Amino acid sequence: MLLLAVLIVGGIVALVVGQPWRAMTDAASRPSGEGAASAGPTASSDAPLPAATGVTPAPSGTPSPRVTSSADGDTGAPGDDDGGSASDVPACTTGDVTVTATTDKTSYGTGELPKLSITLVNDTDQPCLINVGTAAQTFEITSGTDTWWRSTDCQTEPSDQIVQLDAGKTVKSSAPIVWDRTRSAVDTCDGDRQKALPGWYNLAVTIGGIGSAEPASFTLR
């Protein structure tokens, strides 16, 4: 009995002194950066984030942008110094933004691959919201009336990315799309494709529902 009493008293002292529950409480309440690894979400590496000055990601929870017409005169957000809250910023429309299709060259020799890009200009004095995700982008190459290639034919995992295009800003694709000089179709994604012949070709682009006013022309040799 004496030995049992000693063991019980020793156990109580160990609990009082050691307080093992403190480690769990301290770990739960300790801020990240003080010895605890952060368990927060990390950004996806394939998210189509804007990489140019003048384009900022819209805050999470931003309502769907409202489309405003030039008829009612409401082409921008009423402004505080930050250009208005996210809910006040309208969607970019064809009259607000100029979309331009661009290529890195106007003539390509044998084996050279065209690099395709999009340039956006907000022509107004107010910011607007636009979807620049891969789900809202289309690159199309034609020769005469013949459509040779579309970026959406074999696209995988398209995504949306709503961003704010600041007033008066010009931005360009952070990385171009490379055309492999073949004909595309939804049923040829995993097979051999017809090679493009020498001649004139035109590139047209669409982003956020706004198309390029003029195609970019180039030649393949």
Instruction: Look at residue 39 and tell me if it is in a domain.
Output: no
Q: What is the pLDDT along the chain (221 residues), one digit of tens a residue?
A: 444 443 344 444 344 434 333 333 333 333 333 333 333 332 222 333 344 445 566 554 433 333 333 333 333 333 444 444 556 899 999 999 999 999 999 999 999 999 999 999 999 999 999 999 999 999 999 999 999 999 999 988 899 999 999 999 999 988 999 999 999 988 878 878 999 999 999 999 999 999 999 999 999 99
Structural domain includes residue 83: yes
Residue 116 lies in a domain: yes
Number of domains in the chain: 1
CB 182 within 8 A of CB 194: yes
Residue 171 C-beta-side C-alpha neighbours within 13 Å: 23
Please indicate, yes or no, if residue 125 is contained in any of the structural domains. yes
Q: Is residue 10 part of a domain?
A: no
In-domain check, residue 19: no
Read off the CATH number of the domain in which 163 is found. 2.60.40.2360
Report the alpha-carbon distance of residue 75 to residue 190 in Å, rounded.
45
Give a yes or no: residue 29 inside a domain. Answer: no
Nearest of 194, 197, 205 to residue 103 by alpha carbon: 205
Residue 145 falls inside a structural domain = yes
Which residues span the domain enclosing 205? 55-185+196-220
- pTM for this entry: 0.64
Element (DSSP H or E) covering residue 4? helix 2-18
Residue 170 exposed, middle or buried by CB count within 10 Å (0-12, 13-18, 19+): middle
